[in-house]
Amino acid sequence: MESTHSSLREEEARKNNTSGSKPGGWPSFPFIIATVAGITLASSGIWANLIVYLIQEFNIKSISATQISNVVNGTTNLVPFVAAIIADCFFGSFTLVLVSSCVSLLGTIVFALTASIKSLRPKQCINNGSNICEAASVMQYGVLYVGIALVAIGFGGTRFTTAALGANQFHDNTHHQTIFFNWFFFTWYVVSVAGFTGLVYIQDNVSWGVGFWICVVSNMIGVMVFLMGYRYYLPQTPRGRSAFVDLARVPVASIRKWKSQLSSSTQDYYNGAHHHDATLPAVSAIPAKRFRFFNRAALLTEGDSIEKSWRLCTVQQVEDFKKVIGILPLLTSSIFLAIPIGMEANLSLLQALVMEAHLGPHFKFPAGSLGVILLISTSIFLSLLDRVLWPFYQKITGKTPTPLQRIGVGHVFNILGMVVSAIVESKRLKMFHDANKSMSILWLFPQLVLVGVGEAFHFPGQVAFYYQQLPQSLSSTSTAMISLIIGIAFYLITALTHEVRRSTHWLPDNIDYGRVDNVYWMLVLFSGINFVYYLICATFYKYTKI
């Protein structure tokens, strides 16, 4: 049924394509990018100011609000990985993006209702010197968390699945895929800037309700444009089963045959040839020597048969498993790279709330818009890399920088950003305690610029690396790998923040009486050690030919 449905859809797509050309390629690009723009504007309008919304409208203490934000961000970034598996196995990227965008639309509506209906949120704090705050009721928290859950699932399901859908339109041209990824992230960052500025300004200066209803409209437009481009999309045939099951079979089969002696003959390995007797010779290449223990999974031994799938795997499945194993060290390094970035984002926002935010007599910089500095710097540098630096590098060296080289440069900028963050916070605390003065919020800009430039290097580099190096059976999952990394990182940030608060006095609810600078110096040390670890992993990694 799955394959029949996919064939019918492909035939229908080709018939409806009025241009007479095959689906996919650049004709699908405007629709996918426009969808990314609509969904991204909606998501950035909610996530950018979430911590401030929780503090001001639901009377949640600052560090607790950041912890909630960490859990929400972690969930939002884990969902794409699950969605990618579902897309690969059962429904394809198109269906997943459509369903997820509709779920996010419901979530944005619920979120807008919490801001528009007074009974759905607690009364504001009474600032009469005692700062009396009424806690939200169970019902109010329930509605809030339902909205957050729907938005997290919806936005999470669309983000990297859309990237996979776009990359699949250029499945036979890695150069065009690279260009698509650059434009995907450029659009993502530029539109996020609009959300972090315009929508946050509306939420702070007009009303939360108006800002959130704009998110609803943006999400709705994204869904409509996505459907309009249906006939231009290259259909994706789902596998019908999880590729992770095939990968899990490899170590099981290897362990079950651990006593078997490996052979150097191609006839002794199974390649999935179309015969029903697995004991017959199969024409196949010999599995690579790397991680050769797992070659036993494809080794033909007495008692093997195709029906015993947990005892016999194909050579291709073995090699796919080895690819995943080879990438794991770099994946862990990427998780450790994301931890300082996430913590710096949360701490910078809390710093902004207690710093002098007035820029001139008439304008106050919204704390929730602080992330726009990072987004702008990343967007500008992405364009600079794509149009100037990479062509210049290629002209000088005759080569294009590898994804791992780009990620390594991102590590360096990230460390520099943490160093600047620590120095600025030390100066801020000194001004507050010695002169009782508030430092200007402008002092936070340099560290955000450095982290943003680092993201321009390592973020697209990681997406391209995982897409190109993971097995083709994990195409959607590979683009969601960076999301999995960020999701795990945010959960680890929650645990790390809890441990810092338990073991030290660095992170009180009022950070003016804490030592956030020490937290930043801790992140500098953490990032430095991780960079050395990354260099070791990258040095020994062997690229898979694409």
pTM of the full predicted structure? 0.78
Q: Which of 51-55, 170-174, 331-335 has the lowest mean pLDDT?
A: 170-174
- Tell me, what's the pLDDT at 190? 83
pLDDT tens figures, 290-327: 888 888 888 888 777 766 678 888 888 888 888 889 89
DSSP letter, residue 364: B
Percent of the chain clearing pLDDT 90 (strictly above): 37
Domains and CATH numbers, the chain: 22-122+133-238 (1.20.1250.20), 241-312 (no CATH), 323-540 (1.20.1250.20)
CA 235/CA 309 separation, integer angstroms: 29
- Judge contact between 32 and 227, C-beta under 8 A: no
CA 229, 176, 463 angle in degrees (round to 5)?
Answer: 90
Which residues, 6 or more positions from 195, have their beta carbon under 8 angstroms from its beta carbon?
Answer: 40, 41, 42, 43, 44, 45, 48
Tell whether the model's pLDDT for residue 9 goes beyond 50.
Answer: no
- Tell me, what's the pLDDT at 185? 78
- Tell me, what's the pLDDT at 64? 87
To the nearest whole number, what is the mean pLDDT of the chain? 84
Q: Which of 70, 68, 193, 166 is nearest to 452 (CA)?
A: 193
CA 314/CA 303 separation, integer angstroms: 16
pLDDT tens figures, 449-478: 999 999 999 988 888 888 888 887 776 567
Q: Around 334, how many Cα atoms within 13 Å sit in the side-chain half-sphere?
A: 28
- Of the two residues 381 and 80, the one the predictor is more confident about is 381
Q: Which residue has the tokens 């241009």?
A: 19
Q: What are the helix and strand counts (H, E) for the chain?
A: 18, 0
- Tell me, what's the pLDDT at 10? 43
Please report, for residues 202, 211, 231, 241, 336, the alpha-carbon distance to residue 206 in angstroms, rounded to integers and kept in the order given.
5, 8, 40, 50, 39
Tell whether the model's pLDDT for residue 145 goes beyond 70.
Answer: yes
Q: Which of 170, 25, 152, 91 is nearest to 467 (CA)?
A: 170
DSSP letter, residue 279: T
Q: Which of 170, 166, 148 is nearest to 36 (CA)?
A: 166
- Residue 275's pLDDT band (cuts 50, 70, 90): very low
- Of the two residues 243 and 341, the one the predictor is more confident about is 341
- Tell me, what's the pLDDT at 306? 66
Q: Calculate mean pLDDT across residues 507-531.
A: 94
Which residues, 6 or more positions from 274, have their beta carbon under 8 angstroms from its beta carbon?
Answer: none
When mean pLDDT is compared over 52-66, 117-131, 211-225, 236-250, the highest value belongs to: 211-225
Q: Which of 492, 448, 485 is nearest to 463 (CA)?
A: 485
Q: Calculate mean pLDDT across residues 41-49.
A: 91
When mean pLDDT is compared over 198-202, 245-249, 281-285, the highest value belongs to: 198-202
- Tell me, what's the pLDDT at 239? 65
- Residue 241's pLDDT band (cuts 50, 70, 90): low
Structure tokens at 74: 């972690």
- Tell me, what's the pLDDT at 13? 45
- Residue 37's pLDDT band (cuts 50, 70, 90): very high
